[in-house]
Amino acid sequence: MNYNQSRNLIIFLVVIFLKKSFFQKYFLFHIFVLSFWGVALPAFAQVTGNSPYTGLGVGEIYNGAFAQQMGLGGSSVSYSPTYFISGQNPALLAGNVNLIFESGVAGQYKQIQSTAQSQLDLGGGLLYMSMAFPITHRWVSSMGIAPYSMVNYENRFRQRITNSDFSADYLFKGSGGIGTVYWANGFKLNKQIYAGLKASYLYGTTSQEISTRLFTNTPLDYNIALNEKFVYSGLLLEPAVALKIPLNNKERFLNIGAVYSLQSNVSTRKFASLEQRTQNDEIIFSDTLQNLNENKGKTILPARYTIGISLEQQYQWAIVADFSTQDWTQFSSLGISQNLIQGYSVHLGGEWVPDYTALTGYFKRVIYRVGINYTQLPFQLQNQQIKDIALHWGISFPISRNSSLLNFGFALGQRGMLANELVRERFFRFSFGVSINDRKFQRRRLD
């Protein structure tokens, strides 16, 4: 299934499941977003901007957090209000009672620095799109698109060739990623226990180029480039559970959530070619080293374990914490491992709304958030494990009385370090999302 086929499938399902009144009300909005999606889907990787660390493994892994959860430090495995879709724990879908549509974009502005050079970079693009709808009062379903991983890096440098008067430019470049089209379901087993399952179709392409341009100050200057392309397709299953334990106050709950992302053996094909180019990048000679139909195998994406806990005063405040780990020593692609290590992340956050049901005073219904995250990435370079640390904050503005909101999330942080000739990224990340709720879709029951 390619990008356009995935897009058309979801558009077809949207048309089927959207209730007539809701679809008519937001018809132009959906046409705009879905049309934009068709253009933006291949650009998931642009969200990261230029990041040298995305060249390792299958790239930067997306944890499923939507714009509102970004403000909480990326944590929402145990906590998701009824007017939001949980992108991280499908079991929490069972708490939704409305038809909900969510979409979001993200990006970042960063300084990339090494001991030898520094540059500024800006990137952004579509991050997710999701829709959730109740099937029965105990079963809520959701479908959407989101990245699994993102690759986007480019590193150039010039070096003099030893024992010669010549120099050469070296280029390391990569792009692409693995996207997902998913179907998630949440089930309310009783008032306190929820279960869920998310099934994702993985697909995508990553490309990388390694090239050397020799400068001899003669017409003989030329460029040699090795191009590699990996094409992925496979299935990922993520069972989940959630507990909602009432405390003394009838609106105060202790929430626990857990998600297990099973190991996925993703079908992988590789194409490789060697090219000789002129100074103007015109191809003089090209030789196919490996053909997509000849070099086939598997990429092993290791299992991921995530657990979360939260304390919630319903529609007033919440304190949340998540922990996730993934053993990337189990990773390999076409039988080749990259000596990755186990990574883990910790996310903490809190949110507060003065009075969500207030009839007067707009800012009483605004939701404020703050959070932090600490991540040990699965990369060990120069005997140093790469860390990602960030301070998060966010805000949600209500745009109607039916719990529709505009969501903003921000983060300020650092990845990597300058010591031991490594690369440091200092970034400002931002995300914007919209959550549209339709209460008319609620199923009425007669007692």
Query: DSSP letter string over 74-127?
Result: S--SS---TTS--SS-GGGGGG--SEEEEEEEEEEEEEEE-SS-EEEEEEEEEE
Environment class of 32 (CB within 10 Å of its CB; exposed 0-12, middle 13-18, buried 19+)? exposed
- Domains by residue range for the chain, with CATH: 3-441 (2.40.160.60)
- Number of other CB atoms surrounding residue 164 within 10 Å: 10
- pLDDT value for 313: 93
What tokens appear for 136 in the block?
A: 């029965």
Structure tokens at 385: 């494990």
Q: How many residues does the chain have?
A: 447
Distance CA 188, CA 157 (A): 56
* Nearest of 206, 262, 268 to residue 234 by alpha carbon: 268
Return d(Cα 195, Cα 184) in angstroms, integer.
11
Best CA proximity match to 155, nearest among 46, 231, 53? 53
Query: Would you state the pLDDT for residue 438?
Result: 82
- The pLDDT value given to residue 304: 97
The model's pLDDT over 71-129, given as tens digits with 9 standing for 90+, comes to 999 998 999 999 999 999 999 999 999 999 999 999 999 999 988 888 899 988 889 99
What pLDDT shows up at residue 195? 98
Reference 40, options 121, 104, 130; nearest CA is 104
Q: Compute the distance between CA of residue 52 and CA of residue 54 in angstroms, rounded to an integer.
A: 5
Walk along the chain (447 residues) and give the pLDDT tens digit of each residue.
444 544 454 444 444 444 444 444 444 444 444 444 444 445 565 677 788 899 889 999 999 999 999 999 999 899 999 999 999 999 999 999 999 999 999 999 999 998 888 889 998 888 999 999 999 999 999 999 999 999 999 888 777 777 777 777 888 899 999 999 999 999 999 999 999 999 999 999 999 998 888 776 666 667 888 899 999 999 999 999 999 999 987 789 999 999 999 999 999 999 998 888 777 777 777 788 777 777 889 999 999 999 999 999 998 999 999 999 999 999 999 988 888 999 999 999 999 999 888 878 889 999 999 999 999 999 888 888 899 999 999 999 998 777 789 999 999 999 999 888 899 999 999 999 999 998 755 555 444
Helices (H), 281-419: none
CA-based radius of gyration for the chain: 24
Cβ contacts of 248 within 8 Å, gap of 6 or more: none
- Structure-block tokens of residue 175: 């792009």
Residue with tokens 């120099």: 167
Backbone angles phi, psi at 302, to 5 degrees: -70, 160
pLDDT at residue 447, rounded to an integer: 42
Which pLDDT does position 160 carry in this prediction?
75
**Residue 43: per-residue pLDDT:** 53
Q: How far apart (Å, rounded) are the C-alpha atoms in residues 325 and 342?
A: 7
Q: What pLDDT shows up at residue 21?
A: 45
Q: Give the burial string for 412-437 (b: 16+ CB within 10 Å, else e).
A: ebebbeeeeebbbbebebbbbbbbbb
Tell me the two tokens of residue 98. Answer: 């409305």
Alpha carbons 228 and 290: distance in angstroms, whole number:
9
C-alpha to C-alpha distance for 270 and 152, rounded to whole angstroms: 18
Give residue-wise pLDDT tens across range 175-195: 999 999 999 999 999 999 999
Q: How far apart are CA 123 and CA 57, in angstroms?
A: 21
Q: What tokens were used for 335? A: 């039988």
pTM score, whole prediction: 0.86
